Amino acid sequence: MHTTDEKLAAFGKLLEVLDTLRVKCPWDAKQTNESLRPNTVEEVYELVDALIADDVPNIKKELGDVLLHVAFYSKIADEKGQFDIADVCTALTDKLIFRHPHIYGDVSADTPEKVLRNWEEIKLKEKGGNKTVLAGVPSALPALIKANRIQEKVANVGFDWEKPEQVWDKVKEETREVEAEIKAGNHDNLEGEFGDLLFAVVNAARLYGVNPENALERTNRKFISRFNFLEKRAAELGKTLKEMTLGEMDEIWNEAKKNEH
């Protein structure tokens, strides 16, 4: 692994190259916060894909792409006289030190749970920080991730089930309410009830130490793999899926499941 000096030199070289590209490359020169933003979202999702797959070479590559965007936004701000990458690093360092009084101060926090509780209390006290517990939850987060983040934040200030198993009564209650709206044919209320059910299931996952986003993505990938197997086997049989009965498809589906083990 590299020394601290080597790491700083590599980061400095990145900044030098970006400075050059910003002046000499027509594409880089015309980029703005607005034009880069969609690409930033894409790069973050590509990093997440690599992390889920535990693809080390791609993790390194995608981290580089994300780092480039951090440096690029800082460069644009520097040109406007707003801030530069040094300000970004300094603000982050100061925040990390301030939010870790159990390391840099005299506060005790010897478990991850205590650290999280301290973080939430500190963020509420920070000058210019979040004024309410949920103010720091980005409105643009995807709904599943947002639900989990909301539940984590309120749990850190004590608004949570006393025992994890208590959540299942809530899941069952929400399931019954969905079924009631279906039976009543009340479609106007159905979306809200499904939302309540999903929120309760996300809460259950959190309480049992499961990240719901990761869990759902794992199932997405498993389903895709099995369905691809189904399509391939149907083609080998000279059929399209529309020509097959549900029973035929189920038989191949079960074969795909067995092949996973």
CB 45 within 8 A of CB 88: no
In this structure, the answer to whether residues 50 and 94 fall within a common structural domain is: yes
> Is residue 206 pLDDT above 90, yes or no?
yes
- Helix residue ranges per DSSP H, 185-245: 187-207, 212-236
> Is residue 130 pLDDT above 60, yes or no?
no
Cβ-in-10-Å burial (0-12, 13-18, 19+) of 92 comes to exposed
Q: pLDDT at position 72, please? A: 98
CB 59 within 8 A of CB 14: no
Torsional sign, CA 165, 166, 172, 178: negative
Lowest mean pLDDT among 79-83, 96-100, 166-170, 182-186: 96-100
In this structure, the answer to whether residues 217 and 192 fall within a common structural domain is: no
Taking the whole predicted model, whether its pTM rises above 0.95 is answered as no
> Is residue 197 pLDDT above 80, yes or no?
yes
Spatial CA neighbour of 224 closest among 236, 216, 214, 212: 216
> Is residue 203 pLDDT above 70, yes or no?
yes
> Is residue 128 pLDDT above 70, yes or no?
no
Residue 109 CB neighbour total at 10 angstroms: 16
Q: pLDDT at position 151, please? A: 95
Residues with Cβ within 8 Å of residue 211, at least 6 apart in sequence: 148, 205
User: Where does a domain end: 211, 235, 251?
Assistant: 211
In this structure, the answer to whether residues 239 and 190 fall within a common structural domain is: no
Query: Is 109 contained in some domain?
Result: no
Query: Is 29 contained in some domain?
Result: yes
106: confidence class by pLDDT, cuts 50, 70, 90: confident
Query: Is 10 contained in some domain?
Result: yes
> Is residue 126 pLDDT above 70, yes or no?
no
What is the CA angle 150-140-118, rounded to 5? 35
Q: pLDDT at position 127, please? A: 54
Query: Is 127 contained in some domain?
Result: no
**Residue range 154-191, pLDDT digits in tens:** 998 889 999 999 999 999 999 999 999 999 998 889 99
In this structure, the answer to whether residues 158 and 93 fall within a common structural domain is: no
As a whole-number percent, the residues of the chain with pLDDT over 70 amount to 96
In this structure, the answer to whether residues 220 and 202 fall within a common structural domain is: no
CATH of the domain at 192: 1.10.287.1080
Q: pLDDT at position 180, please? A: 96
Query: Is 224 contained in some domain?
Result: yes
Name the residue range of residue 167's domain.
133-211
> Is residue 138 pLDDT above 70, yes or no?
yes
In this structure, the answer to whether residues 236 and 195 fall within a common structural domain is: no
Query: Is 112 contained in some domain?
Result: no
Lowest mean pLDDT among 65-74, 115-124, 143-152: 115-124
Nearest-10 Cα torsion for 156, 157, 159, 162? 70
In this structure, the answer to whether residues 137 and 192 fall within a common structural domain is: yes
Query: Is 34 contained in some domain?
Result: yes
- Structurally, the chain folds into a number of domains equal to 3
CA distance 171 to 212: 15
In this structure, the answer to whether residues 163 and 91 fall within a common structural domain is: no
In this structure, the answer to whether residues 148 and 194 fall within a common structural domain is: yes
